[in-house]
Amino acid sequence: MKVSRPIFLLCAAISVAACTSARYDGPVYLDKDAPIEDRVEDALSRMTTEEKVAVIHAQSKFSSAGVPRLGIPELWCTDGPHGIRPEVLWDEWSQAGWTNDSCTAFPALTCLAATWNRDMSALYGKSIGEEALYRNKDVLLGPGVNILRTPLNGRNFEYMGEDPYLSGQMVVPYVKNVQKNGVAACVKHFALNNEETFRHSIDVDLDDRALYEIYLPAFKAAVQEGGAWAVMGSYNLYHGQHGTYNERLINRILKGEWGFDGAVISDWGATHETDAAVKYGLDLEFGSWTDGLAFGASNAYDNYYLANPYLAKLRSGEFTTKELDDKVRRVLRLIFRTAMNSEKGFGSLNSEAHAAAARQIGDEGIVLLKNDGNLLPVPDDASILVVGENAVKMMTVGGGSSSLKVQHEISPLDGIRNRSKAETKYARGYVGDVGGTFDGVSSGQDLRDGRTEEELIAEAVAMAGEADYVIFVGGLNKSEHQDSEGLDRLSLGLPYDQDAVISALVKANPRTIVALVSGNPVSMPWVSEVPAILQCWYLGSEAGNSIADVLFGDVNPSGKLPFTFPAALEDSPAHYGGRQFPNNGPTFYDEGIFVGYRWFEEKDIKPLFAFGHGLSYTVFEYGEAKADKTSMGEGGRIRISVPVKNAGETAGSETVQLYISDVESSLPRPRKELKDFAKIRLGPGESATVTFEIDEDKLCFYDDSKAAWTAEPGEFRALIGSASDDIRTEVGFTLK
C-alpha cells in the first residue's frame, strides 16, 4: 500500500539552513520560474571558494554538501538500478537500522532489455523514480548500459545486452521517466566497463570504429535523447587515464561532442589523484580513500582529492577557478533539477502499482528458449515436482551495489504453488550458496543442508518419477564469481554440478522443464535432452509470480534475448583463440566492431541461442516485405512494411526486428546490424502491418580515418525477422 511521506522530509532544506551557525542569506533566486541557468549563475556568484569546493565532493557515504548559508540543500544519492538501496550509516556501509526503508525490487536490466518494449522501460523508470522520490533521493545511480563483450563479466546482469541500438532504445525511456519525478538518472559506467576482476587496473584500448559504433551509442542516446542529468565514470582506464576523469571520453566526447550539461560523478573509490580529476572532467567525487566496498579512513571527506588538496592548489595559484566554476555550475544545475525542484511530488513506496509493474516487466522479459512438443504451458491440474536451490533462494540480497532490502520477494516455488491447482512438491537437488547477507541486510533464510550430492540427486530422481511435470529452477546466483560486482565468473558452466542434476531428472521424467535464473549466458550440455527451457533472469519482488504466469500460460512468453548464448566460451570474441581473461593492465579489443551476434556471423559460428531469439505459445507468420521506393537520395527516407499474422490459437506478442546489411562497403561491416524493432500484440488469426522508416543514420558506419559517420552510396538489404538468425523476409534498396 502507499504510505504517507514524513513531513520532516519537506523541510529538509530549511532545517539544514537553520542548524548552521553561519549567517543565512536567504534562498538563492526566490523566483522558482526563473531559468535554471540564471539561478545557477546567481548562486555561483554568491559562493565563496570554500563553499564551491565543499559541493564537489562527498560529505558522507551517499551525500554531498549543499550551501546552508544560501539555502542550497544537500544532494543525496542512492544505488540502483533495480531498486532503492536501504539506508546506511553516515560513514559506514553498515545498515542504519531503519524499519521503513524496504523497497520494491524490479527485474534486473537484462530482463528489461529482453522485453524489447520501450513502454516497459518507461514504466520501469516511472516506478523506480517514484520510489526514489518517496525516499527523498536526488540521484539514482543507474541505469547501466555497458556492452556485454564477454559472458563472464560479473556485472552483465546490470546492463542491457550486447547490442548498442537495443541498449540505446531501452535506456532512453528509463532515464526520461525517472527524471519526470525530479530524480536524476546517473547513467553508468562511462565507459568500457566490460569486466570486473581487474576493473581498477585494466587499461582498455580499441579502434575508434568500435568505440563509436559499439561502446558509446547507448550512452549518447541516454544523454542526447534521454536528457540524463548525471553520468558515472568507470573504474577502468582508457588510453592510460581512468574513466572517471578522462580527457578523451569526458572532456572531448561527453561534454564536447555530445554537449552534456550535467554532472560527472565518480564511482566509489574511482578517484586517485587531484590534478587529473580537476583537468579531465570529474565534477563530483564520492567514495575515495576506499575500495568502494569494504575499507577506508573514517570521515576523511576533507581529504578527498577534490577537497582540501584541491583547495590548497587553488589558494597557491596552481589552479584558477576556471575548472572549479564549471564543476560547481554542473553540480548546482543538478541540485536545482532535483533537490530544489519545487514541482516534484511525493512519490510512493511499495505500492500495488509498483508490484504490478515489476510483475508485468518480468512477464514480458522471460524468454522461452525451447519448447519441443509444445510441452509448455503446464496444465492447471498437473502434479508438479519443483527442484533446485534457486526455486527457494532470495535473489534480491547480494551481487554488490544492486543488493536490496525488499518488502517481499515471491520465490519461484511459492509462485508455482500459489498458481497450481494440483499437488506441488519440492526437492533441493543441489546445495549452492547457503548465505544470504550483504552489508547487513539478511535474507533470513537458512539454506544449510548436510546431505551429500548423491543423496540430493537420488531424492529428486525418485520424486521426479511420480510427478506429471518436473520444473528445475537453477542457474546462477549473486555470489562471488557468479553474477556479482567486483569479480567475474570463472567459467561458462553452471555451478554446483547442476548439469548432473538436470540430466538425471530428464532421464527420470521426460517432461522436465528447466527455468534458468541468471543475468548471463550459461552452457547447456543437456540442451538436446531437455524439451523446454526458460530464461528467467533476476525478476525481483514478483519473481515467482512472473515465472508462474509464463509456466501456466496465463502470459504468453514474448521475451527476446538481448545477447547471444554461445555454445562454448571460446566461441565468444573476448575468449576466441585462447585469449586471456580476465585482463590486468593494457588490453586491446582486437575484435573491433565484431561483438555479439556480429562476431558469430562473421566467423560462421553457430550459437547455442542467437541474439533476438525467443519463442511463443503461438505462431507468427510473416508476409513479404515491401519498400515504398527502390532508392533513397541524400536526406531521404524509405518505408519498409511487412504484414505479420498470428496463425495460432493464442493471443501473443511478437517483436519484429529490422536488420540492415550493406552489400558492399569500403570498410568491413557486419553481415547485419539491428536498426529498429517493433513489438506488436495480436489475437488469434489477427494480422497487422509493421512499418519501419529508414534514413541515412541507419545506414552509417564510423570511418575512423575521417573521424566521421559515413553513409556510402550503394546497395543495401533490409532484413526482417524474429531473431538475428531467423530472417523471414527481405527487400533491397539503393542509397544514391
Active site residues: 267
Alpha-carbon distance of 233 to 280, in angstroms, equals 11
Q: 721 by DSSP, 3-state: which?
A: strand
The bridge status of strand 203-205 relative to strand 237-238 is: parallel
Angle between helices 217-224 and 164-179 (to 10 degrees): 30
By C-alpha distance, which of 243, 291, 197, 219 is closest to 484?
Answer: 197
Largest Cα separation within the chain, whole Å, is 81
Q: Are 195 and 583 in contact (CB under 8 A)?
A: yes
Those residues whose C-beta lies under 8 Å from the C-beta of residue 130, and which sit 6 or more positions away, are 181, 347, 348, 349, 351, 354
By C-alpha distance, which of 238, 219, 340, 329 is closest to 284?
Answer: 329
In order of 221, 343, 431, the CA distances from 33 in angstroms are 28, 10, 60
Alpha-carbon distance of 534 to 549, in angstroms, equals 12
The bridge status of strand 75-79 relative to strand 63-64 is: antiparallel
Cβ-based neighbour number of residue 229 at 10 Å: 25
Q: Are 617 and 648 in contact (CB under 8 A)?
A: yes
Alpha-carbon torsion, ordered 300, 306, 309, 314, to 10 deg: -150
Residues in the chain: 736
Alpha-carbon distance of 230 to 217, in angstroms, equals 16
Residue 386 parent element (H or E): strand 384-387
Q: Are 78 and 286 in contact (CB under 8 A)?
A: no
Query: Taking the mean position of all CA atoms in its chain, how far away is CA 199?
Result: 18
Residue 702 phi/psi, 5° resolution?
A: -90, 120
Cβ-based neighbour number of residue 665 at 10 Å: 12
By C-alpha distance, which of 363, 390, 676 is closest to 522?
Answer: 390
Q: Are 401 and 466 in contact (CB under 8 A)?
A: no
Cβ-based neighbour number of residue 707 at 10 Å: 9
Q: Which residues pair with 708 in a beta bridge?
A: 703
